[in-house]
């Protein structure tokens, strides 16, 4: 009332908040870098790699999988492991049922399944012989989140073995 002004000084220490923000930024940067490394590895590895959801749907495939199977990315990812589009055969040439395949077995048994050899008929009629390994992805609580399947093209080796047998 007498013309005096009242000033209040408020100091808030935001050091902890700034440190927390910096830590979050560093964590996000590290996650982004990790994702980039994963993506590069996934895209450049010479083995075919597929990620199969618990319901059997193929949700991800790398370029080596496309090349080995003679299919496009979208053709692979539109299929389930037991899709009738697959023509899978055993070493003796008889049809291989899904319950013998590495991926479905790893899904069902919730354990790694290694060295399953099978032939996958490509759209061009050629059979790609592959050696498949499958590992289930389990949460810490043991819940099945999917399966990672990797496969190596062994077609040349299989043809050489067949030639020797003849």
The model carries a pTM of: 0.76
pLDDT (tens digit per residue) in 57-86 = 999 999 999 999 999 999 999 988 888 888
**76 CB neighbour count, 10 Å cutoff:** 18
Report whether 113 contacts 105 (CB < 8 A): yes
Residue labelled with tokens 């067949």 = 162
Mean pLDDT of 106-113: 94
Report whether 106 contacts 115 (CB < 8 A): no
Choose among 31, 76, 22: nearest CA to 49.
76
């Amino acid at each position: 009332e007498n013309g005096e002004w009242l000033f209040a000084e408020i100091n808030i220490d935001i050091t902890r908040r700034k440190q927390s923000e910096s830590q979050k930024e560093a964590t996000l940067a590290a996650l982004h870098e990790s994702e980039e490394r994963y993506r590069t590895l996934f895209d450049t590895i010479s083995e075919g790699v597929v990620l199969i959801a618990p319901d059997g749907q193929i949700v991800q495939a790398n370029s080596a999988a496309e090349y080995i199977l003679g299919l496009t990315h979208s053709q692979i990812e539109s299929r389930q492991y037991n899709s009738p589009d697959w023509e899978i055969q055993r070493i003796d040439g008889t049809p291989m049922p899904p319950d013998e395949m590495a991926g479905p077995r790893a899904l069902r048994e919730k354990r790694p399944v290694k060295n399953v050899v099978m032939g996958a008929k490509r759209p061009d009629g050629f059979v790609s012989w592959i050696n498949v390994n499958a590992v289930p992805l389990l949460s810490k609580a043991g819940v099945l989140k999917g399966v990672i399947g990797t496969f190596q093209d062994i077609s040349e080796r299989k043809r050489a073995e067949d030639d020797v047998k003849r």
